[in-house]
Structure 1
Amino acid sequence: MLDRVHHGIEQHLPPLMRAHVGPYAEDREQAVALFLDWTKQLAKTRMLDILSIGSSQLTQSHFGEDWTGLSNGGGVPINNPAEYREVWEAARPMLVRTYAGTKHVPEMAKMHEEALDICWHALSFWWFSLLDGRGENTVLQNLEEHFEALRYIASTDKAMEPNVPHQFAFRGCDDVGYIVSGYVAAKAAKAQGIRTLILQIMLNTPKYTWGIQDIAKARALRTLVGELEGPDFAVILQPRGGLDYFSSDLEKARAQLAAVTMLMDDIEPDNPASPQIIHVVSYSEGVRLADPEVVEESVQITRYALKEYRRLKKKGDMPEYGKSAMVEARTRSLLKEAKNMIKFIEATIPNTYSPRGFYSMLRSGVFPLPWLIACKDEFEAAVNQPVQFLHGGVHVVDREGKPLSVSQRLFGIARNLEDIGFAPSITHSADSSWLASGSGGGQKEQYGEKH
């Protein structure tokens, strides 16, 4: 994968194109056979660079088990390593990857490495567990397995993609929490020995987000994660469209795909080699699964939109949206707020970049999740934080709907950490003096303290 990325940069080629593919059929063997046919078709036309197997939930949660009586909610129902090897053969010359397991995560990562030669791994840390109903692990168990999987992935020298920020955004997380979640996942990966990070940024999430806010949020996250880069840690940007963004009107969806491609180019407008990879969400996803013809058309739309947008900007016929004063001001604000939160959690949470540290972030309300459905009692402090759309962005607000800054939320988060035994007493902590720089104790009921 890295060789292809570097070759593309050197030869001034378009970004690598990745897409999810996964037909559905009631019969398991028929579904796998159809997927192999689709894979061969995509390999023959050579328009797609990276094939992501849209695997079944059963594949993720019950791999290698007897599926009798279990319902398949869709996706490719692969259930043994031999079938993965068939996919690898059928996909040449495409690179191939798939979802992580939702249990036995390190063992599944090893199997994907051996049977599929997976081009990079992806981990969701808190998610694909009891937290969202996608797996059997508790959140803490999930984190422990994911950190173990990180160490295994590091031993293979493969890249890792945190499948994280948009999972929080789906549940109502504010823009600052989105950025912080992506940063801490990247820093944890680096700490466990990962040398290459695929930074996936899902735009249009939530779908009501304004483009200006999208660019600023993405740029702030890319900037923060970029501060981790060095001789032993590289970051590859991979933006994508949002899952809920695309219209059921296929002509409108085609236009939306072109529009979101332009946003991607404005994340790093001064870097002609950015983005390095584009995760193409096929335009039909708002209505039906994408077959090879739709996948290939979606890749064509993406490539053309990117090429034409760059041509028009170069001629001066298109405004430089990515360099607007509004984008730059919002980016600076988000960076400041995210850095304040990161400084706080690193000073307050012992062993911040550990399973227990990550669990305490969620439990104490670092990431507001007002739309969370499962585990609401366990993560009460996250659920009890209201958010509101303001000027196209997502903000934590008080009971009157007024935005709360990070500094105004810190005392409540610190109190929650103390209450659940995940941090030293804030009244005795040497680092507690700067907590008072915000609201002190007066605001603590407004950001999720347990009562």
Structure 2
Amino acid sequence: YFHVEDQISELAGAGGVPLRTKSDFLKLHQARLRGNHPLLRIYAGTRDFIKMAKLYHETIQNAWAAIPLFWFNQMDGRGALTLIESIKQHLQAIRWHAKKNIPVEINDPHQWSLRDAPDAIAVADMYLCGIIAKKLGVKYFIAQYMFNTPPSSSFDMDLAKMLAKNELLQTLTDDSFHVIKQVRTGITSLPLNLHKAKGHLAAATLIQLAIKPDIIHVVTHSEASHAAQPEDVIESCSIVNQVVNKMYSSKINIIDGNMEQRKEELIQQARWIINLIPRLAQNSFELKNPFTNYNVLNRLVKYGIFDAPHLKNNKFGQGKIKTKIIDGACYSWDETLFKKQDEIERIKDIIAKHSNKFTSELEYNEKSLSGKVMNR
């Protein structure tokens, strides 16, 4: 928006409606002052985050910010910033919105699942995003749960993953931090056949309602076929609305023992990963606030703790991880032993091979104690 020289005219509208001037945003604002006066919200962009945020605030009164943590940069080819610089600026943008009391969504965890990362990484990232939002002063955190990702996940194991994310986030809630649950169908999961796509949208929505969402982000059934036209949006919303009305007038519980067991497995692994983060700090300054330090967060990806198969040959991530769908869930896969591997096992292997990159538990405890004494 602020770099006209970098705009590629041939790609105008590839990601939606091209908004090029302040008057474009004001026209959108005027258009919504009718009917049921809908809220408007928009993604953060890929640079100039605070300048963009101010523009959104002055024009469409952005209902909530959607800011990534590790993505939309050079790592995935969707932005100009390096990984570490984008993390730094994303954290600054989250803090800016928190000071303005604007709700924040950190649209990050499903980005790992879209690249076939194991379920435990997506769960850990959601927990991390909640921790970061709370530490940066966000009062209302929009938790986006993108279901059906990877698309070959089964409905039951997919729901178990979302239940794990939600349970971890709920441990953070108090009078100053509220979680607003937003669900959506996986963008890569919709069939090309439009009849099947409508069925999938309805079925996926029914599963999503099990976590009692506050917001439903309707993915148009035409996602795999063509860019949504107004009639497609209206039809998709009608399908979702019917499912909501029928499901909420019923007393159906679809959560079973297998889902509960998988949920607990994921919670255990995610907690272990998040508890490891302070050991990535390399000095007392980083250790003071490791969860909101961009250098520490960068090492999560750099060392392969957060990894995905699609990052192979990527200069920012490791891309060494292998994954496989087993019984509907996405696991790390050990190609040597030909068996699934949980994330604690996989990451312990990384620590063993690169112990110099991780503070030992003893060193971490000593640094932590020293820091507490200095703070006193």
**When the two structures are superposed, what TM-score results if normalisation uses the length of structure 2?**
0.88
1:168-183 matches, within 5 Å, as 168-183=112-127
In structure 1, distance between residues paired with 2:188 and 2:229? 19
Is the Cα contact below 8 Å between 1:203 and 1:242 reproduced in 2? Answer: yes
Q: CA deviation at 1:353?
A: 2.6
Over aligned residues, Cα RMSD in angstroms?
2.1
Amino acid at match of 1:88: H
Is the Cα contact below 8 Å between 2:144 and 2:181 reproduced in 1? Answer: yes
1:390 alignment partner in structure 2? 326
In structure 2, distance between residues paired with 1:171 and 1:139? 17
In structure 1, distance between residues paired with 2:165 and 2:113? 14
Query: How many pairs does the alignment contain?
Result: 353
2:309 alignment partner in structure 1? 370
Question: Which secondary structure state, in structure 2, belongs to the residue aligned with residue 78 of structure 1?
Answer: coil
In structure 1, distance between residues paired with 2:7 and 2:136? 38
Q: How has the CA–CA distance of structure 1 residues 339 and 172 changed in structure 2, closer, same or farther, with 3 Å as cutoff?
A: same
Q: CA deviation at 1:69?
A: 5.4
Is the Cα contact below 8 Å between 2:49 and 2:89 reproduced in 1? Answer: yes
1:144 alignment partner in structure 2? 88
In structure 2, distance between residues paired with 1:281 and 1:248? 14
In structure 2, distance between residues paired with 1:348 and 1:131? 21
Is the Cα contact below 8 Å between 2:75 and 2:315 reproduced in 1? Answer: no
2:107 alignment partner in structure 1? 163
1:134 alignment partner in structure 2? 78
1:230 alignment partner in structure 2? 174
Q: Which moved more, 1:349-358 or 1:224-233?
A: 349-358
1:326 alignment partner in structure 2? 258
Q: CA deviation at 1:310?
A: 3.5
Question: Which secondary structure state, in structure 2, belongs to the residue aligned with residue 237 of structure 1?
Answer: strand
1:82 counterpart = 2:23? yes
Is the Cα contact below 8 Å between 2:75 and 2:316 reproduced in 1? Answer: no
Amino acid at match of 1:259: A
1:402 alignment partner in structure 2? 339
Amino acid at match of 2:327: H
Amino acid at match of 2:177: F
1:341 alignment partner in structure 2? 273
Question: Which secondary structure state, in structure 1, belongs to the residue aligned with residue 41 of structure 2?
Answer: strand
Per-residue CA deviation, residues 183-221 of structure 1 (Å, 9 max, x unaligned), is 111211111111100000000001100011111000100
In structure 2, distance between residues paired with 1:355 and 1:395? 27
Is the Cα contact below 8 Å between 1:123 and 1:163 reproduced in 2? Answer: yes
Q: CA deviation at 1:404?
A: 1.7
1:278 counterpart = 2:234? no
Equivalent residue in structure 2 for 1:301, among 239, 244, 247: 239
Per-residue CA deviation, residues 335-357 of structure 1 (Å, 9 max, x unaligned), is 11211222222455432332112
In structure 2, distance between residues paired with 1:430 and 1:360? 16
Question: Which secondary structure state, in structure 2, belongs to the residue aligned with residue 403 of structure 1?
Answer: strand
Per-residue CA deviation, residues 362-406 of structure 1 (Å, 9 max, x unaligned), is 111122211126x623322xx111111111111112123312223
Q: Which runs of 5+ in 1 are unaligned?
A: 1-61, 268-273, 433-451
Is the Cα contact below 8 Å between 2:98 and 2:136 reproduced in 1? Answer: yes
Question: Which secondary structure state, in structure 2, belongs to the residue aligned with residue 96 of structure 1?
Answer: coil
Per-residue CA deviation, residues 265-321 of structure 1 (Å, 9 max, x unaligned), is 112xxxxxx21100000111111111222111111110111222344x43xxx6x32
In structure 2, distance between residues paired with 1:345 and 1:264? 31
2:372 alignment partner in structure 1? none
Question: Which secondary structure state, in structure 1, belongs to the residue aligned with residue 149 of structure 2?
Answer: coil
Question: Which secondary structure state, in structure 1, belongs to the residue aligned with residue 324 of structure 2?
Answer: strand
Question: Which secondary structure state, in structure 2, belongs to the residue aligned with residue 285 of structure 1?
Answer: coil
In structure 2, distance between residues paired with 1:67 and 1:362? 28
In structure 2, distance between residues paired with 1:145 and 1:202? 24
In structure 2, distance between residues paired with 1:76 and 1:300? 23
1:24 alignment partner in structure 2? none
1:215 alignment partner in structure 2? 159
Equivalent residue in structure 2 for 1:411, among 342, 348, 351: 348
1:429 counterpart = 2:367? no
1:55 alignment partner in structure 2? none
Per-residue CA deviation, residues 83-118 of structure 1 (Å, 9 max, x unaligned), is 111111112211111121111112212221122210
In structure 2, distance between residues paired with 1:275 and 1:182? 16
In structure 1, distance between residues paired with 2:180 and 2:244? 18
1:123 counterpart = 2:67? yes
**When the two structures are superposed, what TM-score results if normalisation uses the length of structure 1?**
0.74
Is the Cα contact below 8 Å between 1:216 and 1:330 reproduced in 2? Answer: yes
Amino acid at match of 2:118: D
